[in-house]
Amino acid sequence: MSTSPHDHVGIDAARIEDLGGGLYAYVQPDGSWFINNTGFLVGRDGVTLVDACATERRTRAFRESVTSVTDQPMRVLVNTHSHPDHTVGNALFREAAIVAHEATRDEVLRGLPPVQAVWEPFDMGTLPTAAPFLTYREGVTLWVDDLRCEVRHVGTPAHTTNDSIVWVPERSVLYAGDLVFNGGTPFLMSGSVAGSISVLSEVIAPLGATTIVPGHGPVCGPEIVGTVLEYLHFVQDTARAAKDAGLSPLDAARETDLGRYAEWTDSERIVGNLHRAYAELDGLPLGTPLDIPQVLGDMVTFNGGKPLTCYA
């Protein structure tokens, strides 16, 4: 059973962190299921936003926080990937150009997974779907006044099949989306363990970012990359040994000693991560769709048959 710790804090705990020079992070504790971070960059003539939130209420709070900093119009919204915690609130930024990788648009239009059947009930609100309508295949450069902001697709399935980063080289600030979790368990069910290792090692680490805004958890420095990589290698090693022993991903998760990773929130994600690692050991292409209802069902079973904890 999952014993993953949670710090049950309300929406009022969300805070703006000033990263300097018009760059901000919007951090939502405790960073667990559907409680993500966003960001925004303020120029003389407008605001560029990085991601929305999982619910209408949380996105309204994010929007109000932006307006507490600036009265400039919100011109651009970048989605780092398609998961609902980063895209459900898109509709509250109708005045902005919603920008993302073309596969992010496809996934947003495909619709939500069975959210309420797996997690504790929470109110997502009644917002209509607002998919990105300005898309790219490799990347696009955004300018905030004279500040260059590089929006890059990472090139391979990782957290999802459609992850992008927002890199501000002059400030050494990286908005990493869910390629980076800080204090929470990474989740690779809809992406790739091997791909995530590749992206962190070959795309993220070489940037040498001084400040990283993770998709979940506190703003951090470059040391987080090594921490996440260690966990991903742990998942691969666990999957290899368990598969050789003939264990299912669920049984492997039940027998796994998470060690220090048990201190991270949402430890039940080990089940989904092992399902993904097993698929890669079977030689399936990175990012091959899994049987999502089965994987999520196994996670609920691992959690003692109870819906997964969610404070969104």
pLDDT at res. 5: 62
pLDDT at res. 1: 47
DSSP states of 93-141: GTTSEEEEEHHHHHHHHH---SHHHHBPP-----PPP----EEESSEEE
Token pair 């947003």 is found at 108
Among 308, 195, 291, 198, smallest CA distance to 249 is for 291
User: In this structure, are residues 100 and 135 in contact, taking their beta carbons and an 8 Å threshold?
Assistant: yes
- 104-141 b/e with 16+ CB inside 10 Å = b? bbbbbeeeebebeebbeebebbebeebbbeebbeebbe
The C-alpha atoms of residue 256 and residue 266 are separated, in whole angstroms, by 15
pLDDT at res. 113: 72
Question: Please, is 281 exposed, middle or buried when counting C-beta atoms within 10 Å of its C-beta (0-12, 13-18, 19+)?
Answer: middle
Token pair 């600036």 is found at 70
Q: Which two tokens stand for residue 213?
A: 């805004």
Q: For the whole model, what pTM was predicted?
A: 0.96
The C-alpha atoms of residue 58 and residue 238 are separated, in whole angstroms, by 36
pLDDT at res. 88: 97
Instruction: State the 10-residue block means of pLDDT for the chain, 312 residues long.
Output: 62 96 98 98 97 98 98 98 98 98 98 81 95 98 98 98 98 98 98 98 98 98 98 98 98 98 97 98 98 95 95 94
